[in-house]
């Protein structure tokens, strides 16, 4: 019996939309297969303005940026937006800071951020059905299990492109 090979996707994509905390947030993330890994490109607008930490309040920005387990962004409503996305995607059961889904923080430039980076931790195919989440606060890359990056202000389901 003939079984065709599973076709590998060379690119995947997520359109990001904001929660009630950042209703003007919108953008995209593209995952592209490149030699020896994946290039991740993100462009977003409408990020909240930076606010330094005051007293026991965490700063707003730079923004935590991760792949989460589920492709369901669910409700953008308060008090805890996008909980259906689940926790950080961690296929190799690593401590936080070393999850495959841990990304560099997004720095807002008057609400705009653009960044590209390389990873060899996954392929564009591997992340289909997951989600991208942008958080209100920076990731500390050490608190378990998710880096104390605060509320979810943006989310997008990852699909094949």
What are the extents of the domains in the chain? Answer: 11-160
Sign of torsion, CA 41 47 49 52? negative
- Separation of alpha carbons 109 and 69, rounded Å: 28
State yes or no: pLDDT of 1 exceeds 90: no
Residue 129: strand, helix, or coil: coil
What's the pLDDT tens digit per position in 98-133?
889 999 999 999 999 999 999 999 999 999 999 999
CB of 29 within 8 A of CB of 64?
no
- Separation of alpha carbons 141 and 43, rounded Å: 22
Residue 123: strand, helix, or coil: coil
- Separation of alpha carbons 103 and 99, rounded Å: 9
- pTM given for the model: 0.90
CATH architecture of 11-160: Sandwich (2.60)
Compute the CA torsion angle 14, 19, 21, 27 (nearest 10 deg).
30
- Separation of alpha carbons 150 and 141, rounded Å: 13
Q: For position 139, what pLDDT does the model report? A: 83
Among 23, 25, 22, 59, smallest CA distance to 42 is for 25
What's the pLDDT tens digit per position in 8-59?
779 999 999 999 999 999 999 999 999 999 999 999 999 998 888 899 888 8
CB of 46 within 8 A of CB of 122?
no
Q: For position 5, what pLDDT does the model report? A: 46
């Amino acid at each position: 019996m003939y079984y065709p090979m599973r076709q590998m996707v060379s690119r995947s994509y997520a359109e990001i939309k904001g929660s009630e905390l950042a209703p003007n947030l919108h953008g995209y993330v593209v995952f592209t297969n490149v030699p020896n890994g994946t290039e991740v490109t993100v462009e977003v607008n409408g990020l909240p303005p930076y606010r330094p930490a005051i007293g026991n309040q965490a700063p707003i920005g730079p923004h935590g940026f991760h792949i989460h387990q589920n492709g369901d962004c669910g409700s953008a409503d308060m008090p805890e937006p996008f909980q259906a996305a689940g926790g950080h995607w961690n296929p190799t059961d690593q401590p936080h800071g070393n999850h495959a889904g841990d990304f560099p923080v997004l720095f807002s430039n008057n609400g705009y951020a653009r960044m590209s980076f390389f990873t060899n931790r996954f392929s564009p195919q591997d992340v289909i059905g997951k989600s991208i989440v942008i958080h209100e606060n920076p990731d500390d890359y050490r608190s378990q299990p998710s880096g104390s990056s605060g509320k979810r202000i943006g989310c997008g389901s990852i699909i094949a492109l």
